[in-house]
Every structure is written in C-alpha cells, then in structure tokens.
C-alpha cells in the first residue's frame, strides 16, 4: 500500500522492516499450527486403531511398511500439486492483465481516467483456486479409502503414520524456508549484498517466487492433509477388511 500510495523512502523502510518481522512471526506461528495438527492427527490415529479393532500395528509387517511408504508419498504429491496450481493460476491472471493492456486504450500508457478491470482478475483467481484444489482434495480422500479396502486396515494404519511424519516435517520445512527466502530478497533489496539489480537479487527473486507458495500454500495445506486423511480413515474404519481385497487373490 505504501508503495502504491507513493509514500517516502522512510515510510517504505519502516514497512519493509515490519513485513520482514511479519514473515518471521508467521513462520513461528505456523510452527505452532503444525504442532497442533500433528497432535490432532495422532489423536485421530489412536481413535482409528480402536475403531478398526487394531490392538497393535507391527512395523515388521511388510504391509505396514508398504503403507508407511505410501503415506510418505502423499504429502509430497499434494505439495507438488499445490505448487503447480499456484503457477497455473498466476499465469492465468498474467494473461488477463496482458489482455487488458492490449484491449483497454490508454491503460499501458497510464493515461489519467483510464482504469483497469480488477473484478475479472479477482474472478479468475477465485475460480482457479477452487478448480486447482480438486486434485489435491481427491488425493487426500481417495488414498485412505483405496489403501484401506485394497490392502487392509493395518496397512492403512501404517499409511497414516507415514503421512503424519512426512507431512509435519514437510510443513515445517516449507514454512521456515519460504519465510527465509522472502526475507532474503527483502534484505538484498535494502542495499545489502549488491542491492537491487545484482545477481544476488535476481537469485533471491527466483527463491522468493518459490518461497511464497511454499509458506502460504503448500506448507499450510499439509496441516489440512494429515487431519483430513485421519478423519476419512476413522469414518471408514468399521467397514474395512482385515485382509485387503488385493491380498485375497
């Protein structure tokens, strides 16, 4: 806002410092949120074992190990889906902005009285956000159901453990590294390490391009993912077979 309002350099300096502090505070706060999600997932896992009638989950059982590997894959897949979704949504908005520059006379030149069409950009962002979340949502819901019925309730228990451990560490990594990359760019733009236009600044801009969806999209999504998978597993637990459908043939 201060940049768009054309405020002085002193104001920009203060707001940049507050922005960097906000990123650090957000990273710390997200750490607490991740810890809360981990405890919730653990409680739901215990509830799942009771609902499924599992007194013990043997980690020496190959099916449990298979489930753990599948569970560890799911957060990585969802992280990849959300990261690419951000890119696709951003490019859609970029194309709309280019269209407005082409079709609205005087907009590119900045003529007085010529206004852009922000409503279309907001509509594209909203529509893209909803559409792009379909695939990660389906992965989170379908995977526990498929593993539980095809490989059995014990394999699903292993999958929940694998997904929880991987999801927690991935969320911590994304929240902290994303904030660090964002602050690194601001640090260089403040005149350090060559300042704006330097090779360090160009590298920091690339890092921030990855860091923003890391800390704002994929990282927080991990919290929802591990809890959603645990809830779905708990709901279907009473109907799951002890021996999966695939193992009966």
Token pair of 158 as six digits: 């292993």
CA 214 to chain CA centroid, Å, is 6
Residue 203: inside a domain? yes
CA 163 to chain CA centroid, Å, is 14
Confidence of residue 193 (pLDDT cuts 50, 70, 90): confident
Q: How many residues does the chain have?
A: 249
Q: Mean pLDDT score of the chain, rounded to an integer?
A: 90
Positive or negative: CA dihedral 78, 84, 87, 92: negative
Q: Do the Cβ atoms of 154 and 57 come closer than 8 Å? A: yes
28-52 as b/e: b if 16+ CB within 10 A: eebeeebeebbebbbebbeebbebb
Kind and range of the H or E element at 212?
helix 199-213
Token pair of 136 as six digits: 């990660």
Residue 26: inside a domain? yes
pLDDT-above-70 percentage for the chain = 100
Residue 4: inside a domain? no
103-118 as b/e: b if 16+ CB within 10 A: eeeebeeeeeeeeeee
Residue 3: inside a domain? no
pLDDT for residue 27: 78
In this prediction, residues 78-106 reach a mean pLDDT of 91
Residue 99: inside a domain? yes
pLDDT for residue 234: 95
Query: Alpha-carbon distance 217 to 239, whole Å?
Result: 34
Residue 2: inside a domain? no
Residue 228: inside a domain? yes
Between residues 37 and 242, the one the model is more confident about: 37
Residue 1: inside a domain? no
Query: Alpha-carbon distance 113 to 10, whole Å?
Result: 30
Q: What angle do CA 217, 6, 9 make, to 5 degrees?
A: 90
Q: Domain total for the chain? A: 1
DSSP string, 119-133: HHHHHHHHHHHHHHT
| Residue 113: domain span | 9-248
In this prediction, residues 106-131 reach a mean pLDDT of 88
Instruction: Note the pLDDT tens digit of each residue in 197-224.
Output: 899 999 999 998 898 899 889 999 999 9
**pTM, full prediction:** 0.84
pLDDT for residue 227: 95
């Amino acid at each position: 806002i201060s940049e768009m309002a054309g405020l002085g350099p002193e104001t920009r300096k203060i707001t940049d410092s507050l922005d960097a502090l906000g990123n650090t505070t957000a990273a710390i706060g997200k750490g607490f949120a991740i810890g809360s999600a981990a405890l919730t997932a653990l409680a739901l896992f215990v509830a799942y074992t009771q609902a499924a009638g599992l007194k013990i989950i043997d980690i020496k059982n190959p099916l449990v190990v298979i489930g753990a590997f599948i569970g560890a894959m799911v957060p990585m897949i969802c992280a990849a889906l959300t990261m690419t979704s951000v890119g696709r949504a951003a490019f859609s908005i970029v194309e709309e902005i280019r269209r407005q520059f082409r079709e609205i006379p005087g907009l590119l030149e900045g003529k007085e009285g010529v206004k852009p069409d922000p409503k279309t950009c907001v509509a594209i962002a909203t529509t893209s956000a909803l559409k792009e979340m379909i695939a990660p949502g389906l992965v989170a819901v379908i995977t526990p159901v498929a593993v539980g019925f095809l490989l059995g309730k014990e394999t699903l228990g292993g999958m929940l453990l694998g997904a929880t451990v991987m999801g927690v560490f991935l969320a911590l990594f994304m929240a902290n590294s994303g904030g660090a990359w964002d602050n690194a760019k601001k640090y260089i733009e403040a005149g350090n390490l060559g300042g704006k236009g330097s090779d360090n600044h160009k590298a920091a801009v690339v890092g921030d391009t990855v860091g923003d969806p890391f800390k704002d999209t994929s990282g927080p999504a991990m919290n929802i993912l591990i809890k959603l998978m645990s809830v779905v597993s708990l709901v279907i637990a009473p109907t799951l077979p002890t021996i999966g459908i695939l193992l009966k043939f």
